Amino acid sequence: MEGVKMILNFEKYQTPTLILLSLSTLLIIVLFPTALPFDAAWIAVILCGLPIIKDAAIGLITEFDVKADVLVSIALIASIFIGEIFAAAEIAVIMTIGAYLEELTVRKAQTGIEKLINLSPSTARKITTEGETVVPLEQVKKGDHLRVIAGETIPVDGEILVGQSSVNQALLTGEALPIDKAIGDDVYSGTINQYGTFEMIATKNEADSSLQKMIHLVQAADAESAPIVLTADKWATWIVFASLITALLTWFITKDIQRAVTILVVFCPCALVLATPTAVIAAVGNATKHGILIKSGESLEKLASVDRITFDKTGTLTYGEPKVVEFVSFTAECSKQELLKLAATVEYHSEHPLGKAITAEFNQAELSLHKVTNLQILPGRGLTALYQGKKIRLGNRKLLMETTFPQEETVNTWLAKHYTVIYIEIEEKLAGAIALTDTLRPETQTIIAKLQQQKTQPILLTGDSQLIAESIAEQIGIQEVYAEYLPEDKLNAIRNLQNNCYNVAMIGDGINDAPALKLADVGIAMGGVGSDIAIDAADIVLMQDELTELPYLLGLAKRTLKTIKINIILAMGLNLIAVVLATLGLIGPITGALVHNIGSVAVIIHSAILLRSPSEKNSPKTELKTEFD
């Protein structure tokens, strides 16, 4: 095992080690030219040059793939042929550095699918005429009778036959609140049975269940993502032919082989190779200061041209947790505040998310001092308890079926807004009600307005109901809304936008968003509340768990793309000047290598400007318009 770890560590540090050894060799040659009994430039040529030549030969022979490394290989061989070993070493080292920087910017974690698979339980409780047995999940078939106890993950899609419970369906819909389930209701694989035990009949085989479908969607979306293509490689074929023709013509006309080799040397796209990765790395460093993790340079380039941003609701535009928003008393015996405290005292002993939201309104230490007895939790309905000698019941209408509900305008308004309503009954008399809902992030409306100023249209994609989605969209200024969307629906919505020639970014936080995050041109995940699978599927992660930096991120992407374009123009312009000088015989191979390296240095310096955050000079509010738009 230790041997395997050593091999993996060697592979991880192999390229930077070769680069450091080669740079050290070149430094020794410059400072101490006679220190070694042989030309030390050969060390750099062997360490960095041979891998380039090998890869170029393999690509050219097996696939006739003409990339930048083909031209570099020609220049290397030609320089060695005429004895300009130092020039060959310079080219090899710079090209290796550029390739390594590019590799650093595009390396992504690919563990999301594995984590999805791990969400599926390995066994299920199967009920037969012989009793209950635990069987491997693969043996569960459509029509099997299963039992699921509290806290377990539902193994396959099915329908409840006996019992009732509350099920956390955030995996599929992203909804923050658990859903009450009773006889006849559908349940889905990968969702979590929070309270109560129920029996169900499997309506699908394990391979066809919702969780497996989710895995297939992520895999399919990943396959549709375009691989990154290096800027230098896009131009490589033309550069190779142009350099060869120019070198051959110069040799034919002047009969000077050194001029021809110099042309090949200065034609090497070293600065062009550095144009993209240096800008991207600088931008990634800048973004890190703002709590933004960018996984690939390609995503940053694509983000600059995004014109549609699709938002998940729960956990993205909202906090993803229920919160008490309003409460009312129906009796003169208790004020609103006293009633809420009573509910919190009883709910303190419950683990239900709605109960925790109510208790969060008060000091936890104080609540723990109150004695509550005969506590009974009724899954899917609520709870009952004795407090100060009085029978207290808290729950939904199912719990209080025999109770007469007043035609309270306030409660009807809550229900119309799709708030979750908890009723409070004292001694079999309805005393009040509490409204809970997921709450908007305070910065959301301002962020949406800024995105629209940047000519980017926001779109809401959510698994919540149409009424809730439209209410949220109206509050924050989003015009286009798609509600009650499952993962496959979100995937199709993004695909339709792309088919209509829109560049689409997706922002989400849940497992159900993973396929859409993968398929979108740019996937952005919320880092704090976001699931590991959503974070793995995304290209960019907002680590501060806020949307505040989103307009800044879009502006940074546009600056980065602009910097890359200037880098390319700068690199090609200097190369063109060097080619003219080499053709006229004004520079030789070593000077040509140094001149063309000036382009590389210029590109690096220009890219480094991206490291400076606009906020260092101006406030973010003013900078947003003046520097990014």
Q: Residue 274: phi, psi to the nearest 5?
A: -80, -15
In this predicted structure, what is the pLDDT of residue 365? 58
Per the listing, tokens 């006679």 go with 34
Residue 600 near residue 270, CB atoms below 8 Å: yes
In this predicted structure, what is the pLDDT of residue 581? 84
- The enclosing H or E element of 252 equals helix 231-254
Strand 145-148 vs strand 198-202: parallel, antiparallel, or unpaired? antiparallel
Q: pLDDT tens digit string along 229-260?
A: 455 556 656 777 787 888 888 888 888 888 88
What is the CATH number assigned to the segment(s) 293-318+441-549? 3.40.50.1000
Tokens of 419: 């708030």
Strand 390-395 vs strand 522-526: parallel, antiparallel, or unpaired? unpaired
What does the mean pLDDT of the chain come to?
Answer: 77
Please name which of 449, 442, 504 lies closest in space to residue 479, comparing C-alpha atoms.
449
User: pLDDT-based confidence at 148, cuts 50/70/90?
Assistant: very high
Lowest mean pLDDT across 269-283, 317-331, 395-409, 607-621: 607-621
Q: Letter for the amino acid at 530?
A: G
Q: Letter for the amino acid at 54?
A: K
Domain 121-154+157-203 matches domain 321-439 at the CATH topology level: no
Q: pLDDT tens digit string along 538-567?
A: 788 776 667 888 898 898 888 888 888 888
d(CA 517, CA 507): 7
Coil vs helix vs strand at 426: strand
* Active site residues per annotation: 312
In this predicted structure, what is the pLDDT of residue 533? 63
128 vs 401 pLDDT, higher one: 128
Span 494-517, mean pLDDT?
A: 84
Q: Classify each residue of 507-532 as buried b or exposed e, where b means 16 or more C-beta atoms within 10 Å of its C-beta.
A: bbbbbbbbbbbbbbbbbbbbbebbbb
In this predicted structure, what is the pLDDT of residue 230? 52
Coil vs helix vs strand at 56: helix
d(CA 361, CA 341): 8
In this predicted structure, what is the pLDDT of residue 214? 62
Lowest mean pLDDT across 145-154, 217-226, 353-362: 217-226
Span 149-160, mean pLDDT?
A: 89
Lowest mean pLDDT across 139-143, 174-178, 227-231: 227-231
Q: pLDDT tens digit string along 308-355?
A: 999 888 777 887 778 888 888 888 788 888 888 888 888 887 777 778
Q: Letter for the amino acid at 241?
A: F
Span 467-474, mean pLDDT?
A: 84
User: pLDDT-based confidence at 147, cuts 50/70/90?
Assistant: very high
Q: Classify each residue of 211-249 as buried b or exposed e, where b means 16 or more C-beta atoms within 10 Å of its C-beta.
A: bbbbbebbeebbeeeeebebbbbebbeebbeebbebbee
In this predicted structure, what is the pLDDT of residue 619? 37
Percentage helix, strand, coil for the chain under 3-state DSSP, each rounded to 5: 55, 20, 25
CATH fit for domain 321-439, picks 3.40.1110.10, 3.30.70.360, 3.40.449.10, 3.30.70.20? 3.40.1110.10
Q: pLDDT tens digit string along 42-84?
A: 888 888 888 888 887 887 777 776 666 777 787 788 778 877 7
d(CA 112, CA 125): 27
In this predicted structure, what is the pLDDT of residue 196? 80
Helices (H), 120-209: 170-173
d(CA 278, CA 285): 11
Q: Letter for the amino acid at 572?
A: M
Residue 218 pLDDT greater than 70, yes or no: no
CATH fit for domain 121-154+157-203, picks 3.90.800.10, 3.10.290.10, 2.40.110.10, 2.70.150.10? 2.70.150.10
Residue 330 CA to its chain's centroid (Å): 47
In this predicted structure, what is the pLDDT of residue 496? 92
Residue 71 exposed, middle or buried by CB count within 10 Å (0-12, 13-18, 19+): buried
Q: pLDDT tens digit string along 571-586?
A: 778 878 888 888 888 8
Q: Residue 141: phi, psi to the nearest 5?
A: -120, 160
Please name which of 321, 319, 294 lies closest in space to residue 441, comparing C-alpha atoms.
319
Per-domain boundaries in the chain: 121-154+157-203, 293-318+441-549, 321-439
Residue 41 near residue 29, CB atoms below 8 Å: yes
- As beta bridge partners, residue 590 has none
Share of the chain above pLDDT 90, in %: 5
Helices (H), 481-588: 487-499, 514-519, 532-537, 550-583
- Write the CA distances from 99 to 18, 146, 564, 573, integer angstroms: 13, 55, 16, 21
- As beta bridge partners, residue 504 has 308
In this predicted structure, what is the pLDDT of residue 369? 60
d(CA 208, CA 323): 36
